[in-house]
Amino acid sequence: MRELKIAVVGGGAAGMLASIVAARNGAEVLVLEQLPRVGKKLLATGNGRCNLTNINMNIRSFHGSNVNFAISALKKFDQRSAMDFFEDLGIHCVVEGEGKVFPASGQASSVLDVLRFEMERLGVKEICDARVESVSYGKKGFKINVKDRDSMWVDKVILTTGGKANPSLGANGSGYELAKAFGHKIIEPFPSLVKLKLDAPFLKSLSGAKIDGEAAIEVDGKVLRKESGEILFTDYGLSGPPVMQLSRIAGEHLRMGKRVNIALDLFPDMSFEELEDLLERRTYLREDKPFDFSFVGLINKRFINVLLKEAGISDLHMPCRYVTEDDMKAIANKMKRWVMSVSGTQSWSEAQVTAGGVDVSHINPETMESKIAPGLYFAGEIIDIDGDCGGFNLQWAWSSGYIAGLSASSK
Protein backbone atom coordinates (compact mmCIF):
# COMPACT_ATOMS: atom_id res chain seq x y z
CA MET A 1 0.00 0.00 0.00
CA ARG A 2 1.37 3.41 -0.94
CA GLU A 3 1.99 5.98 1.73
CA LEU A 4 -0.72 8.49 2.51
CA LYS A 5 0.21 11.90 1.16
CA ILE A 6 -0.68 14.70 3.55
CA ALA A 7 -0.38 18.45 3.03
CA VAL A 8 -0.07 20.64 6.10
CA VAL A 9 -1.08 24.17 5.14
CA GLY A 10 0.74 26.50 7.52
CA GLY A 11 4.19 26.03 9.02
CA GLY A 12 3.62 27.37 12.51
CA ALA A 13 3.71 25.54 15.84
CA ALA A 14 0.65 23.37 15.19
CA GLY A 15 1.66 22.65 11.61
CA MET A 16 5.19 21.55 12.48
CA LEU A 17 3.97 19.31 15.30
CA ALA A 18 1.29 17.77 13.06
CA SER A 19 3.83 17.13 10.28
CA ILE A 20 6.22 15.34 12.62
CA VAL A 21 3.52 13.13 14.11
CA ALA A 22 2.10 12.26 10.69
CA ALA A 23 5.55 11.46 9.29
CA ARG A 24 6.40 9.30 12.30
CA ASN A 25 3.19 7.41 11.57
CA GLY A 26 4.35 6.59 8.06
CA ALA A 27 2.78 9.33 5.95
CA GLU A 28 4.45 11.33 3.20
CA VAL A 29 4.14 14.90 4.45
CA LEU A 30 4.68 18.28 2.86
CA VAL A 31 4.32 21.60 4.65
CA LEU A 32 3.14 24.62 2.66
CA GLU A 33 4.21 27.91 4.26
CA GLN A 34 3.50 31.33 2.76
CA LEU A 35 6.52 32.99 4.43
CA PRO A 36 10.15 32.43 3.38
CA ARG A 37 10.61 30.03 6.33
CA VAL A 38 8.54 28.07 8.82
CA GLY A 39 8.10 28.94 12.49
CA LYS A 40 8.55 32.69 12.35
CA LYS A 41 5.82 33.40 14.89
CA LEU A 42 7.21 30.74 17.22
CA LEU A 43 10.41 32.79 17.53
CA ALA A 44 8.44 35.67 19.03
CA THR A 45 6.62 33.67 21.72
CA GLY A 46 7.48 34.18 25.37
CA ASN A 47 9.37 37.38 24.53
CA GLY A 48 11.74 35.33 22.40
CA ARG A 49 12.14 32.61 25.03
CA CYS A 50 9.23 30.38 23.90
CA ASN A 51 6.83 29.63 26.74
CA LEU A 52 6.29 26.00 25.67
CA THR A 53 3.45 25.10 28.00
CA ASN A 54 2.26 25.46 31.59
CA ILE A 55 2.22 22.78 34.27
CA ASN A 56 -0.98 24.30 35.69
CA MET A 57 -3.04 23.32 32.65
CA ASN A 58 -6.77 23.82 33.19
CA ILE A 59 -9.69 24.17 30.80
CA ARG A 60 -10.60 27.41 32.61
CA SER A 61 -7.53 28.97 30.96
CA PHE A 62 -9.10 28.48 27.52
CA HIS A 63 -11.91 30.30 25.73
CA GLY A 64 -14.23 29.91 22.75
CA SER A 65 -17.88 29.50 21.85
CA ASN A 66 -17.64 25.86 23.05
CA VAL A 67 -14.48 25.63 25.13
CA ASN A 68 -15.19 22.02 26.17
CA PHE A 69 -14.26 21.04 22.62
CA ALA A 70 -10.60 21.39 23.67
CA ILE A 71 -10.77 18.95 26.61
CA SER A 72 -10.16 15.76 24.63
CA ALA A 73 -7.07 17.00 22.78
CA LEU A 74 -5.61 18.58 25.91
CA LYS A 75 -5.99 15.27 27.75
CA LYS A 76 -4.59 13.08 24.97
CA PHE A 77 -1.51 15.24 24.54
CA ASP A 78 -1.17 17.17 27.79
CA GLN A 79 1.54 19.42 29.20
CA ARG A 80 3.63 16.46 30.36
CA SER A 81 3.35 14.89 26.92
CA ALA A 82 4.53 18.15 25.37
CA MET A 83 7.49 18.39 27.76
CA ASP A 84 8.44 14.75 27.08
CA PHE A 85 8.15 15.37 23.34
CA PHE A 86 10.56 18.28 23.46
CA GLU A 87 12.91 16.62 25.94
CA ASP A 88 13.17 13.77 23.43
CA LEU A 89 14.11 16.29 20.73
CA GLY A 90 16.82 17.76 22.97
CA ILE A 91 15.05 20.62 24.73
CA HIS A 92 15.65 20.59 28.48
CA CYS A 93 12.49 22.09 30.02
CA VAL A 94 12.56 24.31 33.10
CA VAL A 95 9.53 25.43 35.12
CA GLU A 96 9.36 29.05 36.22
CA GLY A 97 6.87 31.26 38.04
CA GLU A 98 3.15 30.58 37.62
CA GLY A 99 3.96 27.16 36.12
CA LYS A 100 5.41 28.53 32.89
CA VAL A 101 7.69 26.10 31.03
CA PHE A 102 10.65 27.34 28.98
CA PRO A 103 13.62 25.75 27.22
CA ALA A 104 16.69 25.88 29.50
CA SER A 105 18.52 27.70 26.70
CA GLY A 106 16.14 30.63 27.04
CA GLN A 107 15.90 30.74 23.26
CA ALA A 108 12.82 30.19 21.12
CA SER A 109 15.22 29.51 18.27
CA SER A 110 16.27 26.30 20.06
CA VAL A 111 12.71 25.00 19.86
CA LEU A 112 12.42 25.87 16.18
CA ASP A 113 15.82 24.29 15.46
CA VAL A 114 14.90 20.91 16.95
CA LEU A 115 11.49 20.87 15.26
CA ARG A 116 13.01 21.57 11.86
CA PHE A 117 15.77 19.01 12.44
CA GLU A 118 13.17 16.35 13.22
CA MET A 119 11.09 17.31 10.19
CA GLU A 120 14.15 16.99 7.97
CA ARG A 121 15.12 13.68 9.59
CA LEU A 122 11.67 12.29 8.85
CA GLY A 123 11.67 13.50 5.26
CA VAL A 124 8.98 16.16 5.72
CA LYS A 125 9.16 18.42 2.68
CA GLU A 126 9.00 22.17 3.33
CA ILE A 127 7.69 24.36 0.53
CA CYS A 128 8.03 28.00 1.56
CA ASP A 129 6.85 31.16 -0.21
CA ALA A 130 3.82 29.02 -1.05
CA ARG A 131 0.55 30.96 -0.90
CA VAL A 132 -2.33 28.50 -1.05
CA GLU A 133 -5.15 30.06 -3.05
CA SER A 134 -7.68 27.23 -2.86
CA VAL A 135 -8.25 23.68 -1.65
CA SER A 136 -10.92 21.50 -3.24
CA TYR A 137 -11.91 17.83 -3.26
CA GLY A 138 -11.97 15.65 -6.39
CA LYS A 139 -11.64 12.05 -7.55
CA LYS A 140 -7.91 11.98 -6.83
CA GLY A 141 -8.23 13.48 -3.37
CA PHE A 142 -7.61 17.09 -2.42
CA LYS A 143 -6.43 19.52 -5.06
CA ILE A 144 -4.31 22.39 -3.77
CA ASN A 145 -3.74 25.46 -5.91
CA VAL A 146 -0.65 27.44 -4.93
CA LYS A 147 0.06 30.88 -6.39
CA ASP A 148 2.66 30.75 -9.21
CA ARG A 149 3.13 26.98 -8.77
CA ASP A 150 1.67 23.84 -10.29
CA SER A 151 -1.39 22.39 -8.60
CA MET A 152 -0.82 19.36 -6.39
CA TRP A 153 -2.96 16.44 -5.27
CA VAL A 154 -2.86 14.91 -1.80
CA ASP A 155 -4.92 12.39 0.14
CA LYS A 156 -5.54 14.56 3.19
CA VAL A 157 -5.11 18.17 4.28
CA ILE A 158 -4.42 19.68 7.70
CA LEU A 159 -5.20 23.39 7.94
CA THR A 160 -2.92 25.10 10.46
CA THR A 161 -2.85 28.59 8.99
CA GLY A 162 -3.34 30.40 12.31
CA GLY A 163 -5.53 33.43 12.82
CA LYS A 164 -5.07 37.15 12.24
CA ALA A 165 -2.96 38.22 15.23
CA ASN A 166 0.36 39.87 14.41
CA PRO A 167 0.21 39.95 10.59
CA SER A 168 3.91 40.86 10.35
CA LEU A 169 4.58 37.25 11.39
CA GLY A 170 2.42 35.84 8.62
CA ALA A 171 -1.06 35.80 10.16
CA ASN A 172 -3.61 37.08 7.65
CA GLY A 173 -6.70 34.91 8.17
CA SER A 174 -6.29 33.21 4.78
CA GLY A 175 -7.22 29.83 6.24
CA TYR A 176 -10.73 31.02 7.03
CA GLU A 177 -11.56 31.30 3.34
CA LEU A 178 -10.17 27.82 2.70
CA ALA A 179 -12.39 26.45 5.47
CA LYS A 180 -15.46 28.37 4.29
CA ALA A 181 -15.08 26.85 0.84
CA PHE A 182 -15.95 23.48 2.41
CA GLY A 183 -18.96 24.91 4.25
CA HIS A 184 -17.34 25.64 7.62
CA LYS A 185 -18.71 28.56 9.62
CA ILE A 186 -16.28 31.15 11.00
CA ILE A 187 -16.86 32.72 14.41
CA GLU A 188 -15.89 36.34 13.75
CA PRO A 189 -12.26 36.74 14.88
CA PHE A 190 -11.16 39.56 17.17
CA PRO A 191 -7.82 40.46 18.83
CA SER A 192 -6.96 38.84 22.17
CA LEU A 193 -4.03 39.19 24.57
CA VAL A 194 -3.88 42.79 23.43
CA LYS A 195 -3.57 46.25 24.99
CA LEU A 196 -6.72 48.15 25.93
CA LYS A 197 -7.82 51.59 24.84
CA LEU A 198 -9.41 53.83 27.47
CA ASP A 199 -11.66 56.85 27.37
CA ALA A 200 -9.81 59.04 29.89
CA PRO A 201 -8.42 62.61 29.71
CA PHE A 202 -5.22 62.02 31.71
CA LEU A 203 -3.56 59.27 29.65
CA LYS A 204 -0.87 61.38 27.99
CA SER A 205 0.31 62.73 31.33
CA LEU A 206 0.66 59.18 32.69
CA SER A 207 2.14 57.51 29.59
CA GLY A 208 4.99 55.21 30.62
CA ALA A 209 4.07 55.17 34.33
CA LYS A 210 3.62 51.80 36.03
CA ILE A 211 1.81 50.45 39.04
CA ASP A 212 1.91 47.04 40.67
CA GLY A 213 -1.71 46.35 41.48
CA GLU A 214 -4.91 44.53 40.62
CA ALA A 215 -7.14 45.09 37.59
CA ALA A 216 -10.75 43.96 37.24
CA ILE A 217 -12.92 43.91 34.13
CA GLU A 218 -16.49 45.02 34.77
CA VAL A 219 -19.23 44.45 32.20
CA ASP A 220 -22.46 46.36 32.81
CA GLY A 221 -21.30 46.85 36.41
CA LYS A 222 -20.50 43.19 37.11
CA VAL A 223 -16.92 42.04 37.79
CA LEU A 224 -16.09 39.14 35.45
CA ARG A 225 -12.38 38.62 36.11
CA LYS A 226 -9.46 40.02 38.13
CA GLU A 227 -5.72 39.86 37.47
CA SER A 228 -2.71 41.15 39.42
CA GLY A 229 0.74 42.35 38.40
CA GLU A 230 2.49 45.23 36.68
CA ILE A 231 0.12 47.59 34.87
CA LEU A 232 1.52 50.09 32.39
CA PHE A 233 -0.18 53.33 31.35
CA THR A 234 0.18 54.38 27.71
CA ASP A 235 -0.96 57.41 25.77
CA TYR A 236 -3.99 55.43 24.55
CA GLY A 237 -4.81 53.20 27.54
CA LEU A 238 -3.31 50.32 29.49
CA SER A 239 -0.86 47.48 28.92
CA GLY A 240 0.97 44.88 31.02
CA PRO A 241 0.29 41.19 31.80
CA PRO A 242 -2.89 41.69 33.87
CA VAL A 243 -4.43 43.88 31.17
CA MET A 244 -3.52 41.43 28.41
CA GLN A 245 -5.20 38.61 30.34
CA LEU A 246 -8.37 40.68 30.69
CA SER A 247 -8.43 41.90 27.10
CA ARG A 248 -10.38 38.96 25.65
CA ILE A 249 -13.34 39.54 27.95
CA ALA A 250 -13.22 43.25 27.21
CA GLY A 251 -13.05 42.77 23.44
CA GLU A 252 -15.77 40.14 23.40
CA HIS A 253 -18.26 42.25 25.32
CA LEU A 254 -17.44 45.48 23.52
CA ARG A 255 -18.36 43.70 20.27
CA MET A 256 -21.70 42.85 21.88
CA GLY A 257 -22.33 46.53 22.61
CA LYS A 258 -21.87 46.14 26.37
CA ARG A 259 -20.51 48.82 28.72
CA VAL A 260 -17.00 47.74 29.74
CA ASN A 261 -14.92 49.29 32.51
CA ILE A 262 -11.59 48.43 34.05
CA ALA A 263 -11.15 49.04 37.78
CA LEU A 264 -7.67 49.35 39.28
CA ASP A 265 -6.78 48.62 42.89
CA LEU A 266 -3.45 50.31 43.69
CA PHE A 267 -3.22 48.62 47.10
CA PRO A 268 -4.71 45.12 46.67
CA ASP A 269 -3.00 43.83 49.81
CA MET A 270 -4.79 46.37 52.01
CA SER A 271 -8.43 46.66 52.96
CA PHE A 272 -10.17 49.99 52.47
CA GLU A 273 -10.00 50.63 56.22
CA GLU A 274 -6.27 49.84 56.37
CA LEU A 275 -5.53 52.15 53.47
CA GLU A 276 -7.67 54.94 54.92
CA ASP A 277 -5.82 54.61 58.22
CA LEU A 278 -2.46 54.76 56.45
CA LEU A 279 -3.47 57.87 54.52
CA GLU A 280 -4.70 59.58 57.71
CA ARG A 281 -1.46 58.86 59.54
CA ARG A 282 0.63 60.20 56.66
CA THR A 283 -1.57 63.28 56.24
CA TYR A 284 -1.80 64.34 59.87
CA LEU A 285 1.80 63.48 60.76
CA ARG A 286 2.92 66.78 59.25
CA GLU A 287 -0.10 69.07 59.14
CA ASP A 288 1.90 71.89 57.54
CA LYS A 289 2.72 69.85 54.43
CA PRO A 290 0.91 70.57 51.16
CA PHE A 291 -1.63 67.80 50.72
CA ASP A 292 -0.27 66.58 47.37
CA PHE A 293 3.25 66.39 48.81
CA SER A 294 2.07 64.03 51.56
CA PHE A 295 1.74 61.30 48.92
CA VAL A 296 5.39 61.51 47.85
CA GLY A 297 7.02 58.22 48.80
CA LEU A 298 3.73 56.35 48.83
CA ILE A 299 2.80 56.29 45.12
CA ASN A 300 4.51 57.20 41.87
CA LYS A 301 4.68 61.00 41.80
CA ARG A 302 3.10 61.13 38.36
CA PHE A 303 -0.13 59.66 39.77
CA ILE A 304 -0.56 62.09 42.66
CA ASN A 305 -2.24 65.04 40.94
CA VAL A 306 -4.30 62.81 38.65
CA LEU A 307 -5.65 60.71 41.52
CA LEU A 308 -6.44 63.72 43.70
CA LYS A 309 -8.33 65.39 40.87
CA GLU A 310 -10.15 62.14 40.09
CA ALA A 311 -11.15 61.97 43.77
CA GLY A 312 -12.67 65.44 43.54
CA ILE A 313 -9.99 67.37 45.45
CA SER A 314 -9.99 70.94 44.14
CA ASP A 315 -7.09 72.43 46.14
CA LEU A 316 -4.22 69.99 45.71
CA HIS A 317 -1.74 72.15 47.63
CA MET A 318 -3.81 72.94 50.71
CA PRO A 319 -2.08 72.27 54.05
CA CYS A 320 -2.89 68.82 55.39
CA ARG A 321 -4.65 70.31 58.41
CA TYR A 322 -7.52 71.36 56.15
CA VAL A 323 -8.15 67.91 54.70
CA THR A 324 -11.57 66.59 55.70
CA GLU A 325 -12.67 63.06 56.55
CA ASP A 326 -14.74 63.02 53.36
CA ASP A 327 -11.66 63.99 51.34
CA MET A 328 -9.74 61.10 52.85
CA LYS A 329 -12.49 58.59 52.12
CA ALA A 330 -12.78 59.80 48.53
CA ILE A 331 -9.05 59.35 47.94
CA ALA A 332 -8.97 55.91 49.58
CA ASN A 333 -11.95 54.92 47.43
CA LYS A 334 -10.18 56.08 44.27
CA MET A 335 -6.99 54.19 45.16
CA LYS A 336 -8.94 51.00 45.85
CA ARG A 337 -11.26 51.30 42.87
CA TRP A 338 -10.07 53.58 40.10
CA VAL A 339 -12.64 53.00 37.35
CA MET A 340 -11.96 53.85 33.70
CA SER A 341 -14.09 53.24 30.61
CA VAL A 342 -12.70 50.80 28.04
CA SER A 343 -13.29 52.10 24.53
CA GLY A 344 -11.64 49.32 22.54
CA THR A 345 -8.54 47.22 21.99
CA GLN A 346 -5.43 47.77 19.94
CA SER A 347 -5.33 46.36 16.41
CA TRP A 348 -4.30 42.96 15.07
CA SER A 349 -0.70 44.15 14.78
CA GLU A 350 -0.56 44.46 18.59
CA ALA A 351 -2.41 41.22 19.41
CA GLN A 352 -0.66 38.05 20.53
CA VAL A 353 -3.49 35.67 19.67
CA THR A 354 -6.77 35.43 17.78
CA ALA A 355 -10.10 34.85 19.48
CA GLY A 356 -12.74 33.29 17.24
CA GLY A 357 -12.07 31.20 14.14
CA VAL A 358 -13.45 28.01 12.62
CA ASP A 359 -16.60 26.97 14.46
CA VAL A 360 -15.91 23.76 16.42
CA SER A 361 -19.44 22.41 15.92
CA HIS A 362 -18.35 20.88 12.60
CA ILE A 363 -15.02 19.47 13.84
CA ASN A 364 -14.63 16.11 15.58
CA PRO A 365 -12.88 16.86 18.91
CA GLU A 366 -11.42 13.34 19.07
CA THR A 367 -9.68 13.57 15.68
CA MET A 368 -9.73 17.26 14.61
CA GLU A 369 -11.32 16.06 11.35
CA SER A 370 -14.00 18.04 9.56
CA LYS A 371 -17.51 16.60 9.90
CA ILE A 372 -18.33 18.20 6.55
CA ALA A 373 -15.31 17.19 4.46
CA PRO A 374 -13.72 13.84 5.43
CA GLY A 375 -9.94 13.99 5.08
CA LEU A 376 -9.78 17.68 6.06
CA TYR A 377 -8.33 18.42 9.51
CA PHE A 378 -7.73 21.53 11.63
CA ALA A 379 -5.22 22.44 14.34
CA GLY A 380 -4.03 25.47 16.25
CA GLU A 381 -5.17 29.06 16.21
CA ILE A 382 -7.40 28.71 13.14
CA ILE A 383 -9.93 26.94 15.41
CA ASP A 384 -12.25 28.91 17.71
CA ILE A 385 -10.18 28.09 20.79
CA ASP A 386 -7.73 30.48 22.45
CA GLY A 387 -5.92 30.54 25.76
CA ASP A 388 -4.56 32.86 28.41
CA CYS A 389 -0.99 34.12 28.58
CA GLY A 390 1.52 31.69 30.04
CA GLY A 391 1.99 28.85 27.55
CA PHE A 392 -1.66 27.88 27.09
CA ASN A 393 -1.90 28.87 23.43
CA LEU A 394 1.21 26.91 22.50
CA GLN A 395 -0.11 23.91 24.40
CA TRP A 396 -3.29 24.11 22.31
CA ALA A 397 -1.12 24.19 19.18
CA TRP A 398 0.83 21.11 20.33
CA SER A 399 -2.27 19.19 21.47
CA SER A 400 -4.46 19.88 18.46
CA GLY A 401 -1.51 19.44 16.09
CA TYR A 402 -0.69 16.07 17.62
CA ILE A 403 -4.28 14.82 17.32
CA ALA A 404 -4.64 16.12 13.74
CA GLY A 405 -1.33 14.64 12.62
CA LEU A 406 -2.03 11.27 14.21
CA SER A 407 -5.60 11.05 12.94
CA ALA A 408 -4.80 12.18 9.41
CA SER A 409 -1.98 9.63 9.08
CA SER A 410 -4.01 6.71 10.34
CA LYS A 411 -4.77 4.35 7.45
**pLDDT attached to residue 290:** 94
Quick check: 284 pLDDT over 90?
no
**pLDDT attached to residue 388:** 96
**pLDDT attached to residue 173:** 93
Quick check: 411 pLDDT over 80?
no
Residue closest to 226 by CA, chosen among 276, 261, 255:
261
Burial of residue 46 (CB within 10 Å: 0-12, 13-18, 19+) is buried
**pLDDT attached to residue 169:** 87
Quick check: 3 pLDDT over 90?
no
**pLDDT attached to residue 375:** 97
Question: Distance (Å, rounded) from C-alpha 100 to C-alpha 82?
Answer: 13
Quick check: 165 pLDDT over 80?
yes
Distance of CA 193 to the CA centre of its chain: 4
Range 226-233 contact pairs with CB under 8 angstroms and sequence separation of 24 or more: 228/268, 231/264, 232/208, 233/203, 233/206, 233/207, 233/208, 233/209
Read off the pLDDT of each residue in 93-98 and give the average, rounded to a whole number. 95
Quick check: 302 pLDDT over 70?
yes
Read off the pLDDT of each residue in 293-318 and give the average, rounded to a whole number. 94
Per-residue pLDDT tens over the stretch 175-212: 999 999 999 999 999 999 999 999 999 999 999 999 99
Per-residue pLDDT tens over the stretch 27-50: 999 999 999 999 999 998 888 999
Q: What is the CATH number of domain 5-190+354-409?
A: 3.50.50.60
Alpha helices in 122-240 (DSSP H): 174-180, 203-206
Quick check: 400 pLDDT over 70?
yes
How crowded is residue 288: how many other Cβ atoms within 10 Å of its Cβ? Answer: 7
Quick check: 1 pLDDT over 60?
no
**pLDDT attached to residue 2:** 61
- Give the global pTM: 0.93
Per-residue pLDDT tens over the stretch 108-150: 999 999 999 999 999 999 999 999 999 999 888 999 999 999 9
Per-residue pLDDT tens over the stretch 316-366: 999 999 999 999 999 999 999 999 999 999 999 999 999 999 999 999 999
Question: Distance (Å, rounded) from C-alpha 245 to C-alpha 235?
Answer: 20
**pLDDT attached to residue 84:** 98
Distances (CA, A) of 120 to 23, 58, 113, 141, 336: 10, 33, 11, 25, 56
| Domain ranges across the chain | 5-190+354-409, 195-345
